[in-house]
Structure 1
Amino acid sequence: MALKTLAPAKAADLDKELMSSGGFSLDQLMELAGLSVAEAAYRVHPPSKGKSVLVACGPGNNGGDGLVAARHLHHFGYKPTIYYPVPSKPELFVGLQKQLKSLSITFTEDFHSSMKSTDFIIDAIFGFSFKPPVREPFPSVVEALAETSKPVLSVDSPSCWDVEGGPPKEGELGAKFMPPYLISLTAPKPSIRFYKGTHFVGGRFLSEDMAQKYDLTVPDYQGVDQIVEAPVDAPGGEKL
């Protein structure tokens, strides 16, 4: 199956249309996206491999996806820890934090210490709207993600990558960051052409009509699956 990429501007337009004529609310889309992230984590790192999961969340919607994923992972039998140093103030994000705290899920201010004791890491720091440079307090986190031997699943794009241009240049922060797992939400982003690892597509909410309008292909989801594995093997990044 050929999966076309979705540029950042088009991705933003698609989200707006999904929340207008598509009839979705932001929390619905975030819930479905976070569920996809949790399912991808379960697929590559089931609890039998280690239940401790460190979820690094940024201040935007990508971070919200991570918060939702952490809740699902808790119910899947994991023990998530949340690193959320710049919490968002809108009611939706406050509610997500309350949900996690009601489950006694730990929030940490020390990513590096938490990383030493975790079995798996979810990188939900920056999404498709990210533009370099990486700002505090995240540079040291990105550096740690690039250097760790722990398995990492990045959400939508490896944090610090330019969503169209790909990884930073040699010598720049995060130049060597190549997480073993990546889940693209709705559709792969252009930087996927630089990615080498196991790649999933998730976010099972796109209608055939909406996909046709944005020149996308709806992945062949099976049964109740919220994700589908999509090999990265196309030159130029236009299709997978």
Structure 2
Amino acid sequence: MDKMNHSSAEAEAETIEPLRYLSKGEAASIETELVRDYKFGQQQLIEIWGHACALAITKEYEPTIYHPKRSSHSLHQDFTVQCEKMDIPFLSYLPTEVQLINDAYNLVIDAMLGPEADPANIKEPYSGILATLKQVKTPIASVDVPSGWDVEEASQDGINPEVLISLTAPKKCAMSFSGKHFLAGRFLPYDIQKKYELNLPEYPGTDCLIEL
């Protein structure tokens, strides 16, 4: 009996298919079907994804997130105090944006460019922001596709996030990602999962995201 159970477990393990990584076209098709055939609203999808991203960020960075209290002082007074505390001579020296981010923030959330963006043709103001993000030392958490990455290829000239939160299903570029990787795709109808052979993992309990 034990031998039979062991053999059954081995056979079941062998039939488990690997997680599917989507191309740019497949990701666009799934989103189109969700809106057109399953009547998801675009705003509804954004809220589902946004909620999952907030949970992933909280799970990974809760101890480092700082929630400042609303100040009753004038903006000019607060800015002056901030500069003094950061040893920045007020009005006589302006730090670079990279320095400001490194000094003032514990985390950067990158949700600037989506999978539809062409990394070879990024225009201002996004190209300037991307250049800044490549230089910061503050940890970065990217949503779906790290800005500057090609959806279907490994990063060549994009940013280097510490955390990636894939939406719906991971994209092909995520196959080369070596950091902490979360997936928010539990809401997907079974028929879509089957049609695209996504082989999504089993989400624990009632969680809407899972760490891959």
Letter in 2 for 1:141: I
Q: Which residue of 2 aligns with 1:192?
A: 174
In the TM superposition, residue 116 of structure 1 has moved relative to its aligned partner by 3.6
Q: Could you say what the CA RMSD is over the residues aligned between the two structures, in angstroms?
A: 2.0
Letter in 1 for 2:203: Y
Kept in 2: contact 1:201–1:219 (CA 8 A): no
Q: Which residue of 1 aligns with 2:38?
A: 22
- Residue of 159, 178, 203 corresponding to 1:221: 203
In the TM superposition, residue 16 of structure 1 has moved relative to its aligned partner by 0.9
Kept in 1: contact 2:187–2:208 (CA 8 A): no
Structure 2 SS opposite 1:45:
helix
In the TM superposition, residue 217 of structure 1 has moved relative to its aligned partner by 1.9
Q: Which residue of 1 aligns with 2:64?
A: 49
- Residue of 105, 126, 141 corresponding to 2:129: 141
Mapped pair 1:38 → 2:25: no
Kept in 1: contact 2:183–2:211 (CA 8 A): yes
Mapped pair 1:128 → 2:115: yes
Kept in 2: contact 1:126–1:159 (CA 8 A): yes
Mapped pair 1:11 → 2:27: yes
In the TM superposition, residue 114 of structure 1 has moved relative to its aligned partner by 5.1
Equivalents in 2 of 1:141, 1:10: separation in Å?
Answer: 28
Q: Which has the higher strand share?
A: 1
The percent identity for this pair of structures is 34
In the TM superposition, residue 50 of structure 1 has moved relative to its aligned partner by 2.9
- Residue of 129, 151, 155 corresponding to 2:143: 155
Are the structure 2 counterparts of residues 180 and 21 from structure 1 closer, same or farther at C-alpha, using a change threshold of 3 Å? same
Unaligned runs of 5+ in 1: 52-77, 80-109, 231-240
Structure 1 SS opposite 2:183:
strand
Q: Write out the 4+ residue segments of structure 1 that deviate beyond 2 Å after TM superposition.
A: 110-116
Deviation string, structure 1 residues 16-41 (Cα, Å, up to 9, x no partner): 11112212111111100111111110
Q: Which has the higher helix share?
A: 2
Q: Which residue of 2 aligns with 1:167?
A: 155
Structure 2 SS opposite 1:19:
helix
Alignment of 1:73-152 (within 5 A): 78=67, 112=98, 113=100, 116-132=103-119, 133-152=121-140
Unaligned runs of 5+ in 2: 1-15, 69-95
Letter in 2 for 1:166: A
Structure 1 SS opposite 2:20:
coil
Structure 1 SS opposite 2:53:
helix
Equivalents in 1 of 2:154, 2:117: separation in Å?
Answer: 11
Structure 2 SS opposite 1:154:
strand
Alignment of 1:227-238 (within 5 A): 227-230=209-212
Kept in 2: contact 1:201–1:227 (CA 8 A): yes
In the TM superposition, residue 208 of structure 1 has moved relative to its aligned partner by 1.5
* TM-score of the superposed pair, with normalisation by structure 1: 0.64
Deviation string, structure 1 residues 133-186 (Cα, Å, up to 9, x no partner): 221112232222222221111011110011112212xxxx53xx2211001101
Kept in 2: contact 1:154–1:182 (CA 8 A): yes
